[in-house]
Amino acid sequence: VDEDRPDLGKMALRLARAVADEERPVLAREDLEMWDYVVLGALARAPAPTQGELARLTGRDPTRLIGHIDGLARRGLVERRPDPTDRRRRVVALTPDGLATFRRCRSGVRDLEEQLLADVPAPDRATFLRVLQQLHDDLDR
């Protein structure tokens, strides 16, 4: 067995950073930062959480999320309206333009991933992605 490999955490972090570095220019084409993409992605899956829930989902600080959403709303990518049933809450949702923007970004991201994994044989790639997703899903439970 190979005891001489780098730590799992080091390898995973290196990969994550490399992916993020390559994604940034793609997102910049839509004039988005990484946090924007994360927030739009969360809203694309769960239609309308509260701001606190959105902060928890994305891992972003609730207080910093405020100005963040302000910017996205000013650009017409998200919408923030008071919940009729509980007026303390501000329901945040994607606009059609926001959804389209997110889809363009994710498409570009997927292209990058394809490129990054190009040298990995198809069967290995499938196994790699399956195990990674299993670990990822298990961690969120």
Partner DNA sequence: CATATGTCAGCTCAACTGACATTC
Partner DNA sequence: CGAATGTCAGTTAAGCTGACATAT
Binding site for DNA (CB under 7 A): 50-52, 60-64, 66-67, 69, 80, 86-90
Q: For DNA, which is the closer residue by CB, 61 or 114?
A: 61
Within a 10 A sphere around the Cβ of 43, how many other Cβ atoms?
A: 26
Binding mask 16-45 for its own copies (x = CB under 8 A): x-xxx--x-----------------x----
Q: Which residues contact 88 (CB under 8 A, 6 or more apart)?
A: none
Q: Which residues contact 30 (CB under 8 A, 6 or more apart)?
A: 101, 104, 105
Q: Which does 111 bind (CB under 5 to 8 A by kind): DNA, its own copies, none?
A: none
CA distances from 39 to 46, 54, 92, 99, 104 (A): 11, 8, 10, 11, 15
- Does position 14 interact with its own copies (CB under 8 A)? The reply is yes
Binding mask 59-98 for its own copies (x = CB under 8 A): ----------------------------------------
